[in-house]
Amino acid sequence: MYELGIWTYVIALTHYCAELFVFKGCKLNGPFLSPFCVATTSLIWMISQYDYYVKYA
């Protein structure tokens, strides 16, 4: 489940980056910046804490 959460943020971040850089359908302002920052921060945090939450026997 933890890896599923990580992949969810990867997909969200990929979507936002594609919308900003590839399709150019949005601007880097408040309504777009908020979910972009949440996805980036959450992804970095989840990857850095992976070993604490996922322990292999």
Tell me the Ramachandran region of residue 28: left when phi exceeds 0, alpha when psi lies from -120 to 50, beta otherwise: beta
CA–CA dist 40, 22 (Å, integer): 18
pLDDT tens-place values along the chain, 57 residues long:
999 999 999 999 999 999 989 998 888 888 888 888 999 999 999 999 999 999 875
Where do we find the tokens 């900003």?
20
**At residue 24, what is the residue type?**
K
pTM for this predicted structure: 0.80
How many separate domains does the chain show?
1
Cβ proximity of 42 and 8 under 8 Å? no
pLDDT at 57: 57
pLDDT at 22: 94
**Residue 35 structural domain:** 2-53
Cβ proximity of 35 and 12 under 8 Å? yes
